[in-house]
Structure 1
Amino acid sequence: MSLFAMRRFRSFSRDSRGSVGLDYAIAIPILVTMMIGIVQFAVVLHTAGVMRHALGEGLRLAKVDPTASTIEVKDAAKGSMKGVLLSGITKLEFRRSATARSQIGTMTMEYRLEPIIPFASIPPFTLSETRKVYLPS
């Protein structure tokens, strides 16, 4: 290494101008990525909570009104899904089944959630939820 290069290197190492810009350039992509990840996680948690609530509402109708049809139970579940798009529902099933002593209602929902991450090609998430309740016989 030449003497000129050594002196130049020493002057760069002592000069703190531009260090804030360098710190900013390193920290901002990491910070933005973390913030987008946190928002995506919150959207997934919100959607899962809405699904649980909707299944509970549908099964509550089936429990309170034993004459409710499958379509009415499904519509009750869909009607209680606030804050999410109904077009994301890929599967919604309600079944009544009887055992020796009781009747059971089972409701299953699958929801396709598109990621909000703008700069990466990530496949959609599929959330699935199943709930069972005892129905009056």
Structure 2
Amino acid sequence: MLWVVRFACLLSLVWGQDLLQNSGMESLDHWHCFGIQCHVTSTRHSGSHAIQTSGRTQYYQGPGQKITLHPGRSYNVSAYARLLNDHPGELRQNMQIEVAVTFPDGTKQYINPANEPMARKSDGWIHLKGDLNAPNRRKYIH
């Protein structure tokens, strides 16, 4: 199973402060690619480059960063992504932004603030956006 996705991403406070480093994904600096291959491509939504992923075998695999959020605050989440291929045998694919919150006791909570359940390669760049309310027990997010 091979899914290939290109990303351009932003996570900001409601009042507009960008929390991600290299949020435009102009390079791999500050981005971690867990269990997948990532490289920089000139095919992009905006800016000069984007991160292209390949070798995904699980829905949750994608580039990520670890940042600290403030408990109870609201954040705007926004990313542009596009599929480079459709999943064989499926009419549509689900694209989402998943936030993994790790609490001080080691437990995790997974939050999906943005979702597009009907994505296809032919859709081109899809704007995923939503709101994230940081849980009051949070420590780190990635």
TM-score (norm 1): 0.25
Structure index of larger Rg:
1
Which structure is richer in relative contact order (CA contacts within 8 A, separation 6 or more)?
Answer: 2
More helix by share: 1
More strand by share: 2
